Amino acid sequence: MEDSVVRLLLVGDEKCGKTTFLSRVKAGDEINPIPLLRDIDQPYTFTVNMSSNRYRFEFYDTSSPENWRLLDPDVIIICYDISQRLSLINMKRYWINEVKQAFSRRDFLPVVIMGLKRDLRSEDDPNGIIYPQDAYRMAQEMRADRYVECSAVTGELIRPAFEDICKTAIATTTEGGGQSEGGCTIM
């Protein structure tokens, strides 16, 4: 049987950690330093087994701000840097509107909000610490479907974040698919 293909697009401010996140997922937990994926190798594909189905996830992590609008993604992941309040603000001020406008032809386009560089969350942050509940509330205000956060550098919560993304993605291919129990395995 053919694998179901799901296209996922990561957007968010430059340097918020998008490429490093995908590179960590690709490399697995053990390899340090993380070998960075190259832009020209996009889309980055992951074959995922879930509920005895196989899926091919194609991730686009575009660093060319004008080009991403030409893609036809099934899921959007809006990223921010937990140590940069501006990147959090920009999700609501800029990214969500840009995405809605670029893909207005889609009736239903799930949006995941992802906080990156969780290891840099600090009580001493001069801009004020960003608590998960603050970001979660913002995700709700943006009517996002999920909120996840992780650290690519330490590997903390990478797996659950990726699994949540997988579940959201699979829900686009099968009715109720996103509700299925059990984890997914990256092949």
**4 part of the interface to Mg ion, by CB under 5 A:** no
In sign, the C-alpha dihedral spanning 108, 82, 130, 167 is positive
**Which one of 4, 19, 83, 90 is in contact with Mg ion (CB under 5 A)?**
19
**Which one of 14, 41, 66, 107 is in contact with ligand GDP (CB under 6 A)?**
14
What minimum distance in Å lies between the beta carbon of 151 and ligand GDP? 4
Which H or E run includes 89? helix 85-90
**15 part of the interface to ligand GDP, by CB under 6 A:** yes
Q: Segment 36-95, which members bind Mg ion (CB under 5 A)?
A: 63
Which H or E run includes 148? strand 146-149
Stretch that binds ligand GDP, among 136-144, 146-154, 159-167, 172-180 (CB under 6 A): 146-154
Q: Give the number of other CB atoms < 10 A from CB of residue 88.
A: 23
Contact 81, 87 (CB under 8 A): yes
The span from the CA of 124 to the CA of 33, in Å, is 27
Q: Which residues bind ligand GDP (CB under 6 A)?
A: 14-20, 116-117, 119-120, 151-153
Q: Which residues bind Mg ion (CB under 5 A)?
A: 18-19, 63
